[in-house]
Amino acid sequence: MVWLLLAGDILMLILFALMGQSEHKTYTTFQGTLETAAPFVIAWLIVGLVLGLYKLQHYRSFASMFKRTLIVWILAIPFGMMLRNLYLNSALKIPFLIVALVSTLILLSIWRIIFVWIYNRRNA
């Protein structure tokens, strides 16, 4: 189940990058989308692994999952933005950070609510 959770998280971050490219009409190749998503995925994995995001005991309830997700999210998305800015040699744009925070919170929350529901049904 951990691999499913991890795959879903990565997919949501790739979807975030794809949505941004669509909004800005900067369509690229799939590789380009992955390059856009990479700093956020790297940051999410680092922060998530350090803070125990993928320990399944956190997914027995929606409240426990959401608390853990919020902690990782508030650290990982700005960290991902910093990695992206370093890679692109560009300055932080606060409006983009706000959009990234809101968008990723929505996408990751929807996915993780679905995951908790699946996890708890399988382990009931």
| Mean pLDDT computed over 102-118 | 95
Place of tokens 């125990």: 52
pLDDT at 41: 98
pLDDT at 15: 96
Q: DSSP letters along 47-80, please? A: HHHHTTTT-GGGGSSHHHHHHHHHHHHHHHHHHH
Q: Is the dihedral of CA 73, 75, 77, 83 positive or negative?
A: negative
Residue 124 has pLDDT above 80, yes or no: no
End-to-end CA distance of the chain: 14
Question: What are 93-104's pLDDT values in tens digits?
Answer: 999 999 999 999
pLDDT in tens, 58-100: 888 888 889 999 999 999 999 999 999 999 899 999 999 999 9
Q: What is the pTM of this model?
A: 0.90
- CB neighbour burial string for 65-99, b if at least 16 within 10 angstroms, e if fewer: bbebbeebbebbbbbbbebbbeeeeeeeeeeebee
Q: Tell me what pLDDT residue 11 has.
A: 98
In the block, which residue shows the tokens 């692109």? 88
Question: Quick one: tokens of 72?
Answer: 């990782």
